[in-house]
Structure 1
Amino acid sequence: MIMYEKYIGRHRDEFVTLEDLYKNYSIDCPDDFNFAYDVLDVLAEKKPDKLAMLWVGKDGSEKRITFGDMKRWSNKTANYFKALGIKKGDFVLLVLKRSYLFWYAMLALHKIGAVAVQATHLLTAKDYVYRCQAAGIKMAVITGDGDCTRDFDKAAPECNTVELKAVTGHKAAGEGWLDFEAGIEAAPDHWQRPTGEEATKVTDILITAFSSGTTGYPKMVAHDHSYPLGHIITGVFWHRAEPDGLHFTISDTGWLKSLWGKFYGQWFAESAVFTYDFDSFKGADILEKLAKYRITTFCAPPTMYRFMLKEDVGTYDLSALKHCCTAGEALNPEVYNQWKRATGLRIFEGFGQTETTLSCSTLYPWVQPRPGSMGLPTPGYGLVIVDENGREVDPGVTGEICLKADSMETRTKGIFMGYYRDEMSTQKAWHDGLYHTGDTAYRDELGFLWYVGRNDDIIKSSGYRIGPFEVESALAEHPAVLESAVTGIPDPIRGFVVKATIVLSKGYEPCEELVKELQEHVKKTTAPYKYPRVVEFVAELPKTISGKIRRVAIREKDMN
């Protein structure tokens, strides 16, 4: 029996139709469910020699980690944490890039009942102060790569709750830093599941992660121990991870997306995960890894597909690749079409947030992608499109994407518990039986959803509501455009007009003739009223540390 069958009752291939999946998909969630014990350790007992992770370092070194290894090392890490005084309910910050140590630490914290707080190595001292204060961090485990420990030490005087700090890579990082690897290597490998008050409940906080923070400070999203169960749909039904396969999702462990594609759902499917600890993304490098390691299922943001397509994809042996997915931002139809021509494979899109798991997608084999569409609501999520009064809108009408969630007790597995220590933001986003995503879309006559943009990004011009994504998709079809961001700027007659901020592809130079050419291209590709009346060429677009375009920064610059 594949691990997920215990919790949903049927094998993936036993669902005959999409209607069957919608009607009969449900998750059994025991009151004491804990992924580390009930999935990872069970796999380690049943299949100790089965590959759990193939890890490749940036220097080309390889490490093959079995499920038996994962249990042993997570036990040792749990014992090390416990010896340092980490206990149930403590918050531990993990800044580990793509190191395999992240998985040891995460599983160990799950076993203890401590709360894992993921963060990226790109943080500055100011960012560390905010996160440590917001979460009440007790211990920080920081990568020895780069200047992360130095930046953390700059923040330390204002991080009053931090009692312990450990560094990886056996790096001498200065006063007070513990050698994390030496500590876990010396710890015993036997660990007993706690009982009584120290035992975990499914309603306990499992992890917290910070939202991207495109406007203001990022919010702290809290998920409980039921969260991994929400990713059965992600890994088993969307990624189509297979027991004998090797799944590769491109994500740093500083982001919750790493749990979407490098952890829970894939191991429910008993698939191995591929982890490549690179420093900077290069299309040719990723294509080489797909070919060399015979990756079978793959997921990456649309931007990364776009950069890979700048290479000669046909020169790489991708014959092992069976299934491709994307998430993180809306997928331009042009990227979909180019990838299909280059590889013969469709890209299956998915939509979700830090606050959710996969809530809208194209689920193979029942739902085939429609280029540009987000797909259909995934089973278990009561996804609706509503107006500003919370009423469902008709097909073709743009509204906000909301998820039905009457209360924390009745919410779908995968929806967050709330924003930690921020009841005001929780109530603003989650009220009247709906969680409000802040994203807008419309539904067509067949039920497929089409992304429009964030609520704050919608441009209202001459009575029209224009979503940036549709204009950016049109621009993406022109060879001169590497990437773009579409915003609105004030206009005395139209209220706002559409502006395109564009990064040009190699070989193109800004000029008035190119501006006119791009404007005419958009008029021909989409509704003419959506064309950008203002065009600005830039060397790079402002982005969050997670790589999302900060349209708010462009709007603020234009207003000033």
Structure 2
Amino acid sequence: MKTLLKSQILRSFWILRLHHRWFHRHNRFLGSPIFAQYEAQSQGEQQLPEYFNFASDVLDKWSQIEKEGKRPSNPALWWINGRGGEVRWSFEELGVLSRKVANMLSNQCGLCKGDRVLVILPRIPEWWLVTMACIRTGIILMPGISQLTAKDIQHRLQASKAKCIITTDAVAPAVDSIAGSCNFLQTKLVVSEGPREGWLNFKELCKEAPDSHACVRTKIHDPMVIYFTSGTTGAPKMAEHSQGSLGFRPIAHKRYWLDLTPADIMWSTADTGWVVASLGSVFEPWALGSCVFIHSLQQIESTIILNTLSRFPITTILGPPTLFRMLAQSDLTSYKFMSLQYCLSGGEPLNPEVMEQWKSMTGLQIYDLYGQTETGMICAVKKGMKIKPGSMGKACAPYQVEVIDEEANVLPPGKEGEIGIRVKPQRPLGFFSRYVVVKAFVVLSPAYTLQDKAKLTLQLQEHVKKVTAPYKYPRKMEFVKELPKTVTGKIRRNELRNQEWGRV
């Protein structure tokens, strides 16, 4: 991924290194009466509120609607473990319990608005309580998958300067092995039935915590969640999301993607450490008052998925293509999905054969979607659109997405190119921390090798400002023993650039 600027026409795109010939912004909702409203949102014409907090403005509002008897009897969170364990919480119960956890984080853990907490929990109800509690307090949540190693956890704690970590007994030993090297870590909280030395016990503290809590007032652009990328081109990087980019966005385009209602029950099979879990099992369904269904899924097996879809009134399922490929190879004759209406897939392209096979077996279409850690949902095949095999559908508001060439020229329909997201005039939160800057690599002569490098950097920067336009001076500087060169003695600048991208 890289940023490409065209200063002459003030156009800037975030380029995703993924070639796709089927996406084009001029795809239309076929006959949709709300298309014009969608276009207004995607062009940024809808006014955003200055203040917004998902816990108080969404969760608590649905709790009030429940009390007034204006919402179906579906729970807000319906969790099972496949072994007889079950939790059914209403929005009111979620509110009470998340306020208790909010008090626990603020009081016993000593955290306050803006502090960061690393949360490594499997698909257990406590993850949803911690998520809402962090939002209530303005504490920045950083989810992680349970498969993280000690080294992975160390990197996340050090890079984020997290003050607290919340996890289970299974991960706690890995945390203890590296905690001493994480200078900002102050509190360790374990979700466990018993005590653990050096750790606060989540369940015990939650029992004692009061259920009265005043939600902090957060602005719509205040940070809410940080996700770490997969780290395919270097160390995992932090991608920040705000109250607006994850929390308010589902409200803004609620009728254009999932189109859920309070009577719907949605099941996202994603691990809690990925951004799709936030989208599919927190913000999207709860923004619409729907029930979030969760199976602990210690292992993904077709029989578990099929039995669950048959036994429970799930109306919408969101899973990766591998899930649907696995299900399409199963014998479905003994299963009946009486409630299932909507199937969504994302993470990688879904081959047309699986889509056709699934439809012939169940009568249901699979709607494709595409996003990434930094953005959330970028584009999706929405209800009302004709499904085309291989198509990623239409751009999701507020993103303006085009297929472009290497010079950021918009390509016509049917042409293959790069997927570009416009980042001007306003930079979307979570993409990057700054634009590309000039960096100089300097080989010192023997007379300067012992000099103070910080002073040398300032001197060289001032020198460049005097001999050329001041804005051209190198913002970063690295002193090296030698530069990579070709056999003819030319500097291999590509190697230096690639080295820098690996460090980002």
TM-score of the two chains, using structure 1 as the length reference:
0.68
- Report the alpha carbon displacement of residue 59 of structure 1 after superposing the two structures with TM: 2.3
2:413 corresponds to 1:389: no
CA RMSD, aligned part only?
Answer: 2.1
> C-alpha distance in 1, partners of 2:162/2:173?
18
2:220 corresponds to 1:202: yes
2:250 corresponds to 1:231: yes
- Report the alpha carbon displacement of residue 61 of structure 1 after superposing the two structures with TM: 0.8
The answer for the alignment partner of 2:422 in structure 1 is: 404
2:40 corresponds to 1:16: no
SS of 1:315's equivalent? coil
- Report the alpha carbon displacement of residue 271 of structure 1 after superposing the two structures with TM: 0.6
Q: 2:339 aligns with which of 313, 316, 320?
A: 320
State the aligned residue count.
Answer: 399
- Residues 272/246 of structure 1: CA separation in 2 closer, same or farther (3 Å cut): same
The answer for the alignment partner of 1:139 in structure 2 is: 164
Q: 1:354 aligns with which of 338, 353, 373?
A: 373
2:265 corresponds to 1:265: no
Q: Give the unaligned 5+ runs of structure 2.
A: 1-28, 68-72, 438-504
* Structural mapping, 1:27-426, within 5 Å: 27-48=46-67, 51-84=75-108, 85-144=110-169, 147-173=170-196, 175-194=197-216, 199-227=217-245, 228-232=247-251, 236-365=255-384, 367-407=385-425, 410=426, 415-419=428-432, 423=433, 426=434
User: Which string of whole-angstrom CA distances, capped at 9 and with x for unpartnered residues, describes residues 171-207 of structure 1?
Assistant: 444x21111011112100001234xxxx322222111
Q: Is the 8 A contact 1:239 1:325 kept in 2?
A: no
Opposite residue 283 of structure 1, the aligned amino acid is: S
SS of 1:238's equivalent? coil
Question: Taking every aligned residue pair, what percent have the same amino acid on both sides?
Answer: 32
- Report the alpha carbon displacement of residue 22 of structure 1 after superposing the two structures with TM: 2.0
Q: Is the 8 A contact 1:239 1:324 kept in 2?
A: no
> C-alpha distance in 1, partners of 2:81/2:406?
49
Q: Is the 8 A contact 2:38 2:253 kept in 1?
A: no
Q: Is the 8 A contact 1:236 1:265 kept in 2?
A: no
- Report the alpha carbon displacement of residue 292 of structure 1 after superposing the two structures with TM: 0.4
- Residues 234/154 of structure 1: CA separation in 2 closer, same or farther (3 Å cut): farther
- Report the alpha carbon displacement of residue 405 of structure 1 after superposing the two structures with TM: 2.1
Q: Is the 8 A contact 2:375 2:430 kept in 1?
A: no
> C-alpha distance in 2, partners of 1:368/1:121?
38
- Report the alpha carbon displacement of residue 339 of structure 1 after superposing the two structures with TM: 0.6
Opposite residue 190 of structure 2, the aligned amino acid is: V
The answer for the alignment partner of 1:484 in structure 2 is: none
> C-alpha distance in 1, partners of 2:298/2:46?
38
The answer for the alignment partner of 1:427 in structure 2 is: 435
- Report the alpha carbon displacement of residue 17 of structure 1 after superposing the two structures with TM: 4.8
SS of 1:273's equivalent? strand
More moved, 371-380 vs 334-343: 371-380
More moved, 149-158 vs 120-129: 149-158
> C-alpha distance in 2, partners of 1:321/1:142?
33
Q: Is the 8 A contact 2:253 2:397 kept in 1?
A: no
- Report the alpha carbon displacement of residue 361 of structure 1 after superposing the two structures with TM: 1.3
> C-alpha distance in 2, partners of 1:155/1:114?
23
> C-alpha distance in 2, partners of 1:138/1:312?
49
- Report the alpha carbon displacement of residue 241 of structure 1 after superposing the two structures with TM: 2.1
- Residues 131/62 of structure 1: CA separation in 2 closer, same or farther (3 Å cut): same
- Report the alpha carbon displacement of residue 417 of structure 1 after superposing the two structures with TM: 3.6
- Report the alpha carbon displacement of residue 157 of structure 1 after superposing the two structures with TM: 1.7
> C-alpha distance in 1, partners of 2:297/2:267?
13
> C-alpha distance in 1, partners of 2:429/2:435?
13
- Report the alpha carbon displacement of residue 51 of structure 1 after superposing the two structures with TM: 1.5
Opposite residue 177 of structure 1, the aligned amino acid is: W
- Report the alpha carbon displacement of residue 231 of structure 1 after superposing the two structures with TM: 2.8
SS of 1:47's equivalent? helix
Decide which structure has the larger Cα Rg and report it.
2
- Residues 396/50 of structure 1: CA separation in 2 closer, same or farther (3 Å cut): closer
Q: Is the 8 A contact 1:209 1:221 kept in 2?
A: yes
Opposite residue 159 of structure 1, the aligned amino acid is: C
- Residues 172/123 of structure 1: CA separation in 2 closer, same or farther (3 Å cut): same
- Residues 192/20 of structure 1: CA separation in 2 closer, same or farther (3 Å cut): closer
Q: Is the 8 A contact 1:76 1:190 kept in 2?
A: yes
> C-alpha distance in 2, partners of 1:341/1:319?
16
* Structural mapping, 1:518-533, within 5 Å: none
Q: Give the unaligned 5+ runs of structure 1.
A: 1-11, 430-560
SS of 1:71's equivalent? helix
- Report the alpha carbon displacement of residue 216 of structure 1 after superposing the two structures with TM: 1.5
- Residues 24/257 of structure 1: CA separation in 2 closer, same or farther (3 Å cut): closer
- Residues 392/129 of structure 1: CA separation in 2 closer, same or farther (3 Å cut): same
- Report the alpha carbon displacement of residue 27 of structure 1 after superposing the two structures with TM: 4.6
> C-alpha distance in 2, partners of 1:241/1:153?
43
Opposite residue 22 of structure 1, the aligned amino acid is: E
SS of 1:63's equivalent? strand
* Structural mapping, 1:421-460, within 5 Å: 423=433, 426-428=434-436
The answer for the alignment partner of 1:455 in structure 2 is: none
User: Which string of whole-angstrom CA distances, capped at 9 and with x for unpartnered residues, describes residues 275-315 of structure 1?
Assistant: 11111100111111011012111111111111112211232
Q: Is the 8 A contact 1:239 1:299 kept in 2?
A: no
Q: Is the 8 A contact 2:52 2:248 kept in 1?
A: no
